[in-house]
Amino acid sequence: MNTRTMMLLSSAIEIATGVALIAIPDLVARVLLGAELSDSGIAVARLAGCALLALGLACWPSGDHDTPRATRALFTYNLLAGLYLGYLRVGGGFASFLLWPASALHVVFAMLLARPAFASFRQG
């Protein structure tokens, strides 16, 4: 799988998640975390949805190439999101059936983006 394809898939997932968090934050929280959101939680989830939508759009490859900054951004996000979702399942007290798959998906994308991300660090 080439870097452009990985960038497209990762960006598409973040865009879809962002739209879902904006539109139906309660459902996303229930399915992903197995928890209900308070009014303030809904507000924060929608703000996170806006950020994920913006990240996905900003990292969407244009033309036939991807940008090093976008690759680094998606690598960093996927690594941190995967680790945090795993932590929530293991030590955070959340037990939703989607936490492991979501964590694994982010970690896999981080691993696939690691080489191009670190290559872009060396290039400047």
pLDDT value at residue 62: 84
pLDDT value at residue 63: 75
- Averaged pLDDT in 10-residue chunks for the chain of 124 residues: 89 96 96 92 97 95 81 95 94 86 96 88 64
pLDDT value at residue 94: 85
Q: Who's near 44: CB < 8 A, 6+ residues apart? A: none
Q: Who's near 57: CB < 8 A, 6+ residues apart? A: 11, 15
pLDDT value at residue 16: 97
Rounded to 10 degrees, the C-alpha dihedral 9/57/101/35 comes to: -160
| Total domains, the chain | 1
pLDDT value at residue 2: 86
Range of the domain at 83: 3-123
Report how far residue 28's alpha carbon sits from residue 91's, in angstroms, rounded to the nearest whole number. 20
Beta carbons of 15 and 56 less than 8 angstroms apart = yes
pLDDT value at residue 119: 84
